């Protein structure tokens, strides 16, 4: 974070400053922000958020003992509240009405100051699928140009977004911010904190459709990204997604298209998938390059194209962009992560998250990379946050598994049972679909029945927890 005084921070979040002994309103702090006391390091700010299951105020004392320089709280905490015997708190505090809102207010102050200096370029990335993969690729490209801050993990909401923004310093040249949403208005709030110079929309799909209230509501929410751009900005849009194409009419920014469509400014042809990754030819203007992209799954080519469009906008040459793409080996942990290897058995752990679009794409990849002597095995769990579409979409994926000729379907968890029912109803399977309520049961079945050269896909929404099963299978077949 840039260096700020306690008084400046309190003013930004409309809070009341209570200074500890030996400090004043002019005391300076530049540490990062944390909402988890376990992550606090000396000199950082601790925001005591109230969650559904806990209250950050209960862990403020732990944050102080870890070295927190300043507490942002919703009620003044005395020494006893913090677990100290002294009469007064050993750390200064700012009392605010809402610590989550205060976190966003501070992020807004810091990013706007850096933006006004003209040295910081902000990239905002949203879409129903592919945000984290694209963010990681863009960050790798930006780092070749200078100091870069990018969202960690999937820090893309009202908490993770500001925490990422508050990692910027006076030396930061590029901020790559993943901006997710589960309701209308959330992306607008994030873009108000960090007004992007480059705004990216990857897709409009069914991820979180249940929370949004349908695909049209998802479209409106994702459109908030391009609406936040001014005439000097660049909107990087998916030319292959009809709903994203409509967003070109909603932004004053210059539009840069990516995709396989002939009209895309950055496009791919000659796409071929294998167990080693994907090869394709990238085109930009009159330039053409062959790319060996080691990230598994043809659907990740679109993420690579989006990242390439951003990298070119940042000033990289096409050769430099290709160098970064070819150096990437993993989209992110739990995303098409190749594990195992013993007896030729390959485990693809793609259970970090799932939507109908990403589930369908992963199953197509599984069918494409089948080894001649082995089977394809799909280990699938529930896709969440689909609302009224839940049953319909699980039934559709079950049909796809059968129609693509996947050799074995293993469905895990009661919420995913419609996948199993759909596969059975589709046709003449005799035991090719198995259902288990627990991961332990599925693991036991798989370790008893997997054969040499089998290729296994493990896929579910994060809340279904199958990433742990994928990791467990990977360890079993090392």
Longest Cα separation, the chain: 78
Give the SS3 label for residue 279. strand
The verdict on whether residue 462 carries a ligand-binding annotation is no
Q: Residues 64, 82: contact at Cβ < 8 Å?
A: yes
Token pair 């990437």 is found at 328
The verdict on whether residue 131 carries a ligand-binding annotation is yes
How far apart (Å, rounded) are the C-alpha atoms in residues 218 and 213? 8
Q: Where are the alpha helices (DSSP H) in 328-438?
A: 356-368, 390-403, 417-426
Q: Residues 334, 180: contact at Cβ < 8 Å?
A: no
Strands 33-34 and 45-47, bridge-based pairing: parallel
The verdict on whether residue 203 carries a ligand-binding annotation is no
Instruction: Show the tokens assigned to 264.
Output: 């895309």
Q: Where are the alpha helices (DSSP H) in 59-205?
A: 60-65, 79-82, 99-117, 131-143, 160-165, 186-193
The verdict on whether residue 133 carries a ligand-binding annotation is yes
Q: For residue 280, what are the CA distances in angstroms to 136, 141, 201?
A: 20, 19, 22
The verdict on whether residue 129 carries a ligand-binding annotation is yes
Strands 408-412 and 433-436, bridge-based pairing: parallel
Which helix (H) or strand (E) covers residue 235, if one does?
strand 234-238
Kindly give, in sequence order, each residue whose CB lies less than 8 Å from that of residue 57, ignoring residues fewer than 6 positions away.
48, 50, 73, 74, 75, 77, 81
How many other C-beta atoms can be found within 10 angstroms of the C-beta atom of residue 283?
18
How far apart (Å, rounded) are the C-alpha atoms in residues 151 and 149? 7
How many other C-beta atoms can be found within 10 angstroms of the C-beta atom of residue 399?
15
How far apart (Å, rounded) are the C-alpha atoms in residues 68 and 237? 41
Residue 52 Rama label (left phi>0; alpha psi -120 to 50; beta): alpha
The distance of Cα 201 from the centroid of its chain, to the nearest Å, equals 13
Positions at the binding site: 127-133
Show binding-site residues for ATP: 127-133
């Amino acid at each position: 974070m840039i260096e700020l005084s306690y008084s400046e921070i309190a003013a930004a979040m409309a809070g009341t400053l209570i200074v500890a002994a030996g400090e004043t309103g002019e005391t300076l702090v530049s540490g990062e922000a944390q909402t988890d006391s376990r992550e606090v390091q000396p000199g950082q700010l601790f925001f005591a958020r109230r969650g559904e299951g806990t209250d950050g105020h209960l862990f403020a004392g732990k944050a102080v003992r870890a070295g927190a320089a300043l507490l942002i709280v919703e009620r003044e905490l005395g020494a006893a509240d913090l677990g100290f015997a002294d009469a007064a708190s050993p750390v200064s505090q700012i009392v605010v009405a809402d610590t989550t809102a205060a976190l966003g207010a501070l992020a807004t102050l810091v990013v706007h100051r850096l933006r006004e200096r003209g040295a910081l370029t902000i990239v905002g990335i949203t879409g129903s699928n592919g945000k984290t993969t694209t963010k990681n690729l863009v960050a790798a490209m930006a780092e070749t140009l200078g100091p870069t801050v990018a969202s960690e993990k999937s820090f893309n909401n009202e908490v993770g977004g500001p925490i990422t923004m508050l990692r910027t310093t006076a030396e930061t040249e590029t901020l790559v911010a993943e901006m997710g949403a589960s309701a209308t208005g959330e992306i607008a709030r994030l873009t108000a904190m960090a007004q992007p110079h480059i705004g990216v929309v990857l897709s409009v799909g069914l991820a979180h459709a249940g929370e949004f209230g349908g695909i049209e509501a998802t479209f409106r929410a994702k459109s908030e990204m391009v609406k936040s751009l001014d005439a000097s900005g660049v909107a990087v849009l998916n030319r292959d997604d009809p709903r994203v194409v409509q967003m070109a009419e909603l932004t004053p920014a210059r539009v840069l298209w990516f995709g396989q469509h002939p009209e895309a400014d950055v496009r791919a042809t000659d796409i071929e998938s294998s167990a080693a990754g994907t090869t394709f030819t990238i085109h930009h203007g009159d330039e053409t390059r062959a790319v060996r992209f080691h990230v598994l799954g043809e659907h990740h080519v679109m993420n690579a194209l989006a990242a390439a469009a951003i990298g070119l906008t940042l000033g990289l040459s096409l050769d430099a962009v290709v160098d970064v793409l070819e150096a990437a080996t993993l989209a992110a942990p739990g995303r098409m992560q190749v594990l195992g290897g013993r007896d030729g058995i390959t485990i693809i752990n793609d259970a970090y998250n799932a939507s109908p679009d990403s589930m369908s794409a992963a199953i197509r990849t599984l069918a494409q990379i089948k080894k001649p002597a082995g089977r394809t095995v799909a280990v699938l769990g529930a896709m969440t946050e689909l609302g009224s579409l839940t049953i319909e979409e699980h039934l559709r994926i079950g049909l796809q598994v059968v129609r693509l000729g996947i050799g074995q379907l293993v469905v895990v968890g009661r919420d995913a049972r419609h996948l199993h029912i759909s596969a059975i109803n589709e046709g003449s399977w005799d035991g090719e679909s198995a259902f288990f309520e627990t991961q332990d049961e599925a693991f036991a079945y798989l370790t008893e029945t997997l054969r040499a050269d089998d290729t296994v896909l493990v896929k579910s929404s994060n809340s279904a927890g199958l990433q742990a099963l994928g990791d467990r299978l990977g360890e079993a077949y090392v």
